[in-house]
Amino acid sequence: MEGLFEGLLNFGWGNLAMFIIAGLLIYLAIAKQYEPMLLLPIGFGAILANIPFSAATGEHGILGILYNAGIKTELFPVLIFVAVGAMIDFTPLLQNPFMMFFGAAAQAGIFLTLLFALLLGFDLKEAASIGIIGAADGPTSIFVAARFAPDLLGPISVAAYSYMSLVPIIQPPVIKLLTTRKERLIRMPYKQIVMPKIILILFPILITIIAGLAAPISVPLVGMLMFGNLIRVCGVLDRLSNTAQNELANLVTILLGVTIGSTMAADKFLKPETLMILGMGLLAFVFDTAAGVLFAKILNLFLRNKVNPMVGAAGISAFPMSARVIQKMAQKEDPTNFVLMQAISANVAGQLGSIIAGGILLFIVPYLLK
């Protein structure tokens, strides 16, 4: 009979605490609709992982098998990139290539947070994994953390997806602090340009080649994102494009979320480092937002046609949520001011920028440790 009640007899305060945390994630997913497609599976996976002697965990448990097959091999994050690529329309960015600079500038939070983590005593690989939370891109965070700091995968993933869902709360106060009302009222004329299909097809191919030659280690990230986009724009693979955007995205998201949750065992998650990671994750998003805004303000010192600094904040990779936040803020200041297309362009650039930043970290960290 002891074996029958083994879980109950070995249930401790740590397990209870993790059940509460898992319940909070599920509550946020359902009641507040904060990234429900991932926070709910993560929360339920955490429950499965914290039942003592759970047959779902361990090397031969279903969650252990999924972790080894999908996270350790980096398969799940890469497949998510195929789906994301099929969902993204790069046309606004191609019509406004100038916005690419904001996608690069807003990645500064990654490297600033990395330095901050080093100062707090984390080693370089751990610091890089924490810094990548600032990519505001869940799959990139998982990809880097799984390679550099698998023991921190749980808190890093939770921080990345939680703060992505909190962009409407995090960004506005930072933007208002760094801008004047006059700056927030700046209008940016937008001219619609018909983009030839050949450009849309060549773009993902050329980006893959250029990024791959510059940082070959980034090819799984950039390559799969661009492959998904090529499926979308080629015009002859609508069924595959729809499958990538729907069935593939949904299936991998379920498996990815519940597998991440399984890494949140009490003995690994309930540590002071977890709170530090959550705090630095928030700091990374603040740094990203501030970097984008300040970069736009600096550019305005030299530009005749001024940039609305709020658009710079959309350079993070939280697509398309950040662009919507910027448009909402612009219309709150002036209901007739529309900066959505410029913000979308910066947001799409941020998606590319975050992946390239992840590739840089994957290359430079092992090189520095040689």
Q: Per-residue pLDDT for the chain (370 aa), expressed as one digit of tens each? A: 445 566 666 678 888 999 999 999 999 899 988 888 888 999 999 999 999 888 888 888 899 999 999 988 889 999 999 999 999 888 888 888 888 888 888 899 899 999 999 999 999 999 999 999 988 888 889 999 999 999 898 899 888 888 888 888 899 999 999 999 999 999 988 777 788 999 999 999 999 999 888 878 888 889 999 999 999 999 899 999 999 999 999 999 999 999 999 888 888 888 888 889 999 999 999 999 999 999 999 999 998 888 999 999 998 888 788 899 999 999 999 999 988 888 999 999 988 888 888 888 988 898 888 7
pLDDT of residue 217: 83
d(CA 207, CA 223): 8
pLDDT of residue 214: 80
pLDDT of residue 272: 87
From the DSSP assignment, how many helices (H) and strands (E) are in the chain?
Answer: 22, 0
Residue 164 neighbours by CB distance under 10 Å: 25
Residue 367 vs residues 144, 210, 360, 363, 370: alpha-carbon distances, Å: 15, 21, 11, 7, 5
Q: What is the pTM of this model?
A: 0.86
d(CA 46, CA 159): 15
d(CA 40, CA 38): 5
- Sequence ranges of the domains in the chain: 6-368
Residue 242 vs residues 200, 239, 248: alpha-carbon distances, Å: 18, 5, 9
Nearest to 286 by CA among 117, 139, 108: 108
Amino acid identity at 49: A
Angle between helices 124-131 and 272-300 (to 10 degrees): 60
Q: Using only the alpha carbons of the chain, give its radius of gyration.
A: 21
pLDDT of residue 1: 46
pLDDT of residue 89: 87
d(CA 173, CA 147): 34
**Nearest-5° angle of CA 134, CA 140, CA 142?**
100
Nearest to 313 by CA among 278, 344, 338: 344
Q: In sequence order, what are the residues at sequence separation of 6 or more whose Cβ sits closer than 8 angstroms to the Cβ of residue 298?
A: none
Q: In sequence order, what are the residues at sequence separation of 6 or more whose Cβ sits closer than 8 angstroms to the Cβ of residue 21?
A: 43, 46, 264, 269
